[in-house]
Amino acid sequence: MRFGLVIGVFASQFMSILVSKLFEADMSEYHFVFSSDSCIKTCIYFAVMYLAVMIFNTMTISRYKLINLLNATKKNEKVKMKNPFLAVLIFIFGSSILCFAYWKVTGDVNSMNTAEKMLPPILMGIVGTVLIFWSLSGFIITVIQKMKNIYFKDTNMFVLRQINNKINTMVASMSVICLMLFMTISILSSSLALRNTMQRELKEMTPVDLNLYKTANLPESYKRYGKEITTTELQREDSRHPIYQTLINNGLDMNVLKDIVEIEIYCTNDLTWETFFGDSFNEVKKDFPGLAYGTEEEIVKISDYNKIAKLYGIKEYNLSEDEYIVLCDFDSQTELRNKVLAKGNYPLKIAGKEYKSKYNECQEGFITMSTSHTNTGIILVPDNCPLTEEMKEMYLLSANYNAEIDEEKEEIEKIFAGNGGSSNLITSLNDNGLEIDGFTKISLMEASIGIATIVTFIAIYLGIIFLIASSAILALKQLTDSSDNKQRYTILRKIGCDEKMLNQALFRQIGIFFGMPLVLAIIHSIFGIQFAITIMSGLASKDDLLPSVICTVVIIAVIYGSYFLATYFCGKNIIKEED
């Protein structure tokens, strides 16, 4: 126990450093941490488990007579279900349950928008797994017995009988282990995909140091979160001027910024998500009832967008006088919009004039920084589009800090983010009742790394814990079986089996026990990972799934494979002939 505690202390520090390195977090403030409370709780929990196991073992042993214990190795477990026909029916029923659960989390995933709706497929997966293992051992030996050339080859008959005589324990343990392995594969693959996506998209989506935006054309009063807001004359006047002018009016030295680009964003009541989908609206609303279809579409002139695109280093576009382009990079929203745009030359009426779509699908692009691809839609229109001053909804300013080193950038960051206290700019804006919102690259990266690190740490920790627990349970069971079956291996030697045949028999037996739950867990994971990626749409991308799956395979191969080999070699020592 003391040895395990020491390993646990240092292993936890290693996990913290590993996850921090995965996200390139700042480790300058890192220091070794030891929690005495956690250590005490660990000791208490271990003592409780030890006491519980001792009590249950004592109760179990007390039920048997000495003669039963002496002859225990000669007895097989009683097989409660021997009818092959019934086993096949249960296998088909269990497979059907699993297939339906697989379909629910993939083909019907859009209907699973609450925790209550997710519970039935989970329960079906558990029940189906138990039924599969319960039925397999009931008919698999019957099937193989009919294949004489396989059943009577080498020690196959012995191996199958060994597996079959442990049927009751195998069903319970295999089901639990399979589900834990499924959790391991799904958690590790999904969390590593999340990490890869967030790290890649964070770099893509933060191309500049600063985004500022403010509302244009403020009315005398408006509602925000159900509360009536009354504006002042100064606020209304400021809302008619660009952000650049507001910054100067409130005392900012504009020399702290460079590469400044400011654009205008328009909206109109005549163009909402509902009107965009047109004839397809009812169909879309049926599948996605929770979307805010009254949301007004953001409209940007093509020349303004190209200024931003040039600054961001992303693709620029051009338009004819009667064309428009939809920019969208949020996966689920892109899929919906593409169904409409696929009709070709899809018409939209914008500011009283009709335009047709230049492309039959959404194009990639964005105007505001984010931690991931969350642009749900921007309509690009020609510069001569008759957008009025009243349609102007927002001003957006993008810029870089006029600094070369990180220390200088952090000083400028304080002006806009107010780190360490309010800056003169923030104080002046507050005194005048003016609001300018925005993002900075530094704050977005710090927030993203913090959240992603916590999520990934928990996921990797749980994944590895499930993996080690599964491997340890299997290893202990197989080593116990090897000890119990030592006399049987001795009998095999007496009837002429050499050590190679015995070792092969042991290898196959352990391999089947380690392989069966892993195979079914992999099948579960194929659908489970798809469900997780769909649920995390916008955070994790399918494009980043393959590297994370490969990494998960390596982790499982190392840990699970190590336990398998260790179990085999230890079992080999247990059954070897004594001198």
Residue 577 has pLDDT above 80, yes or no: no
* Most confident by average pLDDT, 167-181, 524-538, 561-575: 561-575
Helical residues (DSSP H) of 206-330, grouped into ranges: 233-238, 243-249, 273-277, 281-287, 302-312
How confident is residue 538, by pLDDT bands cut at 50, 70 and 90? Answer: low
pLDDT at residue number 314: 93
pLDDT at residue number 264: 95
pLDDT at residue number 190: 82
pTM for the predicted model, two decimal places: 0.69
The predicted model gives 293-316 an average pLDDT of 94
Residue 255 has pLDDT above 70, yes or no: yes
Contacts of residue 156, defined as CB under 8 A and 6 or more positions apart, other chains included, come to 144, 150, 508
pLDDT at residue number 138: 67
Per-residue pLDDT tens over the stretch 232-249: 899 899 999 999 999 999
Residue 476 has pLDDT above 70, yes or no: yes
The predicted model gives 72-99 an average pLDDT of 73
What is the residue type of 28? Answer: S
Point out the least confidently predicted range of 314-323, 457-466, 558-567: 457-466
For residue 346, give the DSSP letter: -
* Most confident by average pLDDT, 135-149, 163-177, 300-314, 538-552: 300-314
Contacts of residue 552, defined as CB under 8 A and 6 or more positions apart, other chains included, come to 184, 185, 188, 189, 192
Whole-number Å distance between alpha carbons of 370 and 380: 20
pLDDT at residue number 565: 92
Query: CA–CA distance from 317 to each of 304, 326, 334, 380 (Å)?
Result: 11, 11, 18, 9
Contacts of residue 141, defined as CB under 8 A and 6 or more positions apart, other chains included, come to 160, 161, 163, 164
> 233: closest CA among 219, 247, 251, 249?
219
The predicted model gives 293-304 an average pLDDT of 93
How confident is residue 66, by pLDDT bands cut at 50, 70 and 90? Answer: low
Residue 262 has pLDDT above 90, yes or no: yes
Residue 207 has pLDDT above 90, yes or no: yes
What is the residue type of 349? Answer: K
Per-residue pLDDT tens over the stretch 19-40: 555 555 555 555 556 677 777 8
> 181: closest CA among 527, 554, 457, 464?
464
pLDDT at residue number 486: 78
pLDDT at residue number 278: 86
Whole-number Å distance between alpha carbons of 239 and 436: 10
CA terminus-to-terminus distance, the chain: 34
Mean of per-residue pLDDT scores for the chain? 82
The predicted model gives 491-500 an average pLDDT of 78
Whole-number Å distance between alpha carbons of 93 and 130: 11
